[in-house]
């Protein structure tokens, strides 16, 4: 069913440290554990070493995410990356806070083999950033992109979020236009999502409105496509050749392993995830145990359906015949034929859940 070749293998590294927690964030990240950083990196390296010893495949992509990977001293991060066996053409991405990076730190990343950066921009409008509970200055983004270019990173991503409380359609257009002005090869635009347990969840009056978010999605899609970035997954746009290889592994049900607290892994239908807190993670790894917290095994049918549900979100869609004729009629305007594939229209991308439910 999936088209992923056996040789593709992704490695994710989780860095659970942040200076400040954003109001909407539900990730396993902590603002009060900086004292653990060195210990955490040692544990990470131990976990990697054990996997390597157990014949982990060569990585075709590495993604360092968080949290805020740039909170770590650059050489610590470089050491972890160096431990992971990777193919010569591997894509190696580090998520960056635009405030943190310097010419020096980028130099260290570069030397460690990092060839792609992903910046958490979120918005280019001050009051929207404040509403998201973010602290950086939009001008830092311009500075960071400039530094990245100078350091030789020709592939990078800018992450933006739409639907913050108080964000107008014009605010959003401003963000998108200022992002395009930086000529990024890749943009991820996410609808702000209310996650249980976040400060935002306690403020229903600030919940994003679906209709407004739908309009914002159309705005960003119009502007990015006009700027030469094609949509290749619901929330991702790229110039040809700059699509994120690592994320494609997820979406093609490929195998990947995650290192660090709360990191998720997948191999041939078995998924597992590590304990959530860095403290527990360090304790377990240091005492020679696995950090696995829990797992699930998908049966053949679940895997098949899930494969379709992931595939439908991508540009290439699903094989013809993945919907009944009746459902295809119901989904008129959301799904169209493209050769022997069925793909989402733009309206369909906004309704991907409704469409996914009908995959058979």
Question: Under the rule (CB under 8 A), what is the footprint of other proteins?
Answer: 10, 12, 190-193, 210-211, 213-214, 217, 233-235, 247, 250-251, 256, 258, 262-266, 271, 273, 296, 302, 306, 309-310, 313, 330-331, 334, 347, 349-354, 356-357
CB of 256 to other proteins, least distance (A): 6
Number of H helices, E strands in the chain: 13, 15
CA–CA distance, 32 with 34 (Å, rounded to integer): 6
CB of 107 to other proteins, least distance (A): 28
State residue 82 phi and psi, 5-degree precision: -60, -30
Phi-psi region of 269 (alpha: psi -120 to 50; beta: other; left: phi over 0): left
* Per-residue tokens: 130: 């404040």
Asked if residues 225 and 218 have their Cβ atoms less than 8 Å apart, the reply is no
Distance CA 141, CA 97 (A): 9
Q: Give, in order, the Cα–Cα distances in Å from 136 to each of 22, 33, 102, 126, 288.
A: 11, 21, 15, 9, 40
User: Which residue, 160 or 180, has its beta carbon nearer to other proteins?
Assistant: 160
- DSSP E strand boundaries for the chain: 9-15, 59-66, 86-96, 116-122, 156-162, 186-191, 230-233, 236-238, 255-259, 264-267, 270-274, 292-297, 318-319, 335-338, 341-344
Nearer to other proteins, 151 or 156 (CB): 156
Q: How far is the CB of 243 from other proteins (least distance, A)?
A: 14
Dig out the tokens for 71 from the structure.
């909170």
- Nearest to other proteins of 287, 353 (CB atom): 353
Q: How far is the CB of 353 from other proteins (least distance, A)?
A: 5
Q: Give min distance, CB of 287 to other proteins, in A.
A: 25
Q: Between residues 41 and 331, which has the closer beta carbon with respect to other proteins?
A: 331
* Residue closer to other proteins, measured from CB, 49 or 297: 297
**115 vs 236, beta carbon nearer other proteins:** 236
The least CB distance from residue 303 to other proteins, in Å, is 10
- Using the minimum distance from each CB to other proteins, give the nearer residue, 107 or 245: 245
**Min dist. Cβ of residue 149 to other proteins (A):** 26
- Expressed in angstroms, the distance from the first to the final Cα of the chain is 13
Largest Cα separation within the chain, whole Å, is 59
């Amino acid at each position: 069913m999936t088209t992923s070749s056996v040789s593709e293998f992704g490695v994710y590294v989780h860095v659970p440290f942040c200076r400040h927690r954003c109001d909407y964030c539900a990730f396993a990240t902590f603002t009060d554990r900086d004292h653990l950083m060195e210990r955490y990196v040692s544990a990470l390296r131990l976990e990697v070493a054990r996997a390597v010893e157990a014949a982990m495949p060569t990585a075709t992509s590495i993604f360092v995410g968080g949290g805020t990977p740039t909170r770590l001293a650059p050489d610590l991060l470089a050491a972890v990356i160096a431990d992971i066996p990777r193919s010569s053409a591997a894509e190696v991405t580090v998520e960056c806070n635009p405030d943190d990076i310097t010419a020096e730190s980028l130099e260290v990343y570069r030397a460690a083999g990092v060839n792609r950066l992903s910046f958490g921009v979120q918005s280019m409008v001050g009051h929207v950033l404040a509403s998201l509970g973010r602290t950086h200055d939009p001008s830092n983004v311009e500075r960071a992109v400039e530094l990245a270019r100078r350091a030789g990173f020709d592939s990078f991503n800018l992450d933006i979020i739409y639907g913050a409380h108080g964000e107008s359609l014009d605010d959003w257009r401003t963000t998108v236009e200022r992002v395009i002005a930086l000529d990024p090869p890749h943009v991820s635009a996410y609808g702000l999502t209310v996650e249980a347990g976040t400060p935002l969840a306690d403020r229903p009056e600030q919940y994003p409105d679906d209709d407004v978010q739908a309009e914002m999605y159309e705005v960003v899609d119009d502007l990015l496509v006009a700027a030469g970035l094609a949509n290749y997954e619901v929330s991702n746009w790229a110039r040809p050749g700059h699509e994120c290889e690592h994320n494609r592994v997820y979406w093609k049900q490929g195998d990947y392993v995650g290192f660090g607290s709360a990191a998720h892994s997948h191999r041939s239908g078995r998924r597992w995830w590590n304990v959530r807190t860095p403290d527990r993670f360090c304790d377990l790894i240091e005492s020679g145990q696995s950090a696995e917290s829990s797992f699930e095994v998908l049966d053949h049918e679940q895997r098949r359906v899930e494969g379709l549900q992931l595939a439908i979100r991508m540009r290439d869609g699903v094989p013809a015949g993945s919907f009944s004729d009746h459902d295809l009629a119901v989904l008129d305007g959301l799904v169209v034929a493209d050769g022997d594939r069925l793909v989402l229209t733009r309206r369909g991308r906004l309704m991907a859940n409704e469409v996914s439910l009908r995959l058979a």
